[in-house]
Structure 1
Amino acid sequence: MASSGRYVLNLKSLPQGKHRFDYELDDSFFEQSGSYDILGGTLAAKVEVERNGDVFNFCIALDGTVKTACDRCLDEVEIPVKEKNKLVVRFGDSYQELSDDLLVVPLSEGTLDLSSLLYEYSELAIPMQRMHSDGECDPEMMNRMSDLLAIDADEATEESGMTAHDSRWDSLGKLLEQKEQFK
């Protein structure tokens, strides 16, 4: 993800103690990512950093909405996002991602670009199923999908050689009804 210097924190020059940085993630931020998952949105990102020596404890909170494609009708849908993530960053010889929440940044550089982290946390905050509420999907697309599903069901029935009603099971159904009457 190409980043402007706007999301780069100079960790070397950050004094000891707690610090807060606020960012607005808008459509242009998500366009720069080059991903098709998030089409746009408006998120407030609050980044709190506590420096203790060469260790930086981050708390990154995201709040707002992102736009993505609905899994059902493919129309744009707004998904609410409210997420908090913790991250520990420390200085080392080379850049390493030791785990999901532990990064090593080269002391020679001393900077951390938050843009990819902010985008990644935004993506992880979106549910697996991204859909409009019932009745809000594009009606034209839903009609097309219903038609296709009906055609697929008919083809599957024809391929399996079964009809909607198989008379061979009628006698079993009658036996079950008789059994219920005797109870």
Structure 2
Amino acid sequence: MRINFINISIKTLISCLFIQACSTNNVQLLQKKWKSVELRNPQMDEELRLMKIYIDTVSRQAPMMQKTDIDSLKKALQFELDEMLKQQHTILENTLMEFQSNGVVYITSIDGVDSALYRIEEGDIVVDEVGLKGYGEMMKFKILSLTQDSLSLKTIIYGDTSYVNLIPIKN
């Protein structure tokens, strides 16, 4: 009975040390400046797909549309779609996350630089604006993969799931 207790205690201690080592390793891997290189959002992708179908088939959906200048409407809709895709690309190209050793993350976007506290908690990066500024929000990013060369995150905001891939950049 005593040997069984000792075995369980040793296994528990080793597990705790392993988890702590992995957590520390993740923090050390995370502490650099990351640039977003890919954003996937299944809901947004489906809406874009449906918009493209709508643009292609708009005159077939309503008989009155067949009598109007449908080409101008299609061009206007396509222009709006193209502009939205360009803006999405600009946002992606200009988003940086810099995780510092003092527990502060700086997030740079086309809107400027913002800061918050961060911590790793059960495989998530928890970004806490309230803890740093006294106001704001708390966000969770699930770490899907973290290596020296890449960071893959999953976030759910208001029920909408996004996947972000980032790579480290030199300062």
TM-score (norm 1): 0.29
Structure exhibiting the larger radius of gyration computed from Cα positions: 1
Larger RCO: 1 or 2 (CA < 8 Å, sep 6+)? 2
Question: Which of the pair is proportionally richer in helix?
Answer: 2
